[in-house]
């Protein structure tokens, strides 16, 4: 399996109140040939979500350390499109779909690499469908 992984779906693996059977099924489908593509932003989003969840007592410090190890073990590939070209492309995709530049990063990456998108975000899913990007069916 090769796809673009949105942070919303990755967090469904971490946060008990956001878990879903679909996210769990996707996790079990990964093998040594799988590639989960993410924009650099993904790592910041993930780190922030885990930090905030711990502050709000949704996770313990031990939970966060365990989850960091889980994410480190995933076959995550970080895309490296950065700089002026990235700003232009993200601005364009965000404008076309009325998305934040953060959400546009996932859609743009899926478009550019010709991959499906794995997301739990309904708005992003709708925009992906409208733009012809397939969605991973967990």
Residue 137 is assigned to a structural domain of this protein: no
Judge whether residue 138 has pLDDT over 70.
no
Tens digit of each residue's pLDDT (9 = 90 or more) over 34-75: 999 999 999 999 999 999 999 999 899 999 999 999 899 999
Residue 136 is assigned to a structural domain of this protein: no
What's residue 113's pLDDT? 95
Cα–Cα distances in angstroms (integers) from residue 122 to residues 25, 42, 56, 96, 111, in the given order = 18, 18, 25, 17, 18
Tens digit of each residue's pLDDT (9 = 90 or more) over 75-104: 999 998 778 888 888 888 899 999 999 999
Q: Is 61 exposed, middle or buried (0-12, 13-18, 19+ CB in 10 A)?
A: exposed
How many domains does the chain contain in total? 1
CATH code at position 119: 3.40.50.1010
Domain enclosing residue 125, as ranges:
2-131
């Amino acid at each position: 399996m090769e796809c673009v992984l949105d942070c919303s779906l990755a967090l469904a693996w971490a946060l008990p109140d956001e878990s879903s059977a679909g996210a769990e099924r996707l996790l079990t489908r990964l093998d040594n040939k799988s590639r989960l593509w993410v924009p650099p932003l993904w790592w910041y989003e993930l780190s922030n979500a885990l930090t905030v969840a711990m502050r709000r007592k949704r996770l313990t410090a031990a939970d966060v350390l365990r989850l960091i190890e889980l994410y480190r073990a995933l076959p995550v590939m970080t895309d490296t499109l950065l700089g002026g070209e990235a700003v232009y492309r993200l601005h364009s995709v965000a404008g076309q779909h009325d998305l934040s530049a953060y959400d546009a990063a996932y859609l743009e990456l899926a478009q550019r690499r010709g991959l499906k998108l794995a997301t739990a975000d309904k708005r992003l899913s709708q925009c992906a469908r409208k733009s012809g990007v397939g969605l991973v069916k967990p």
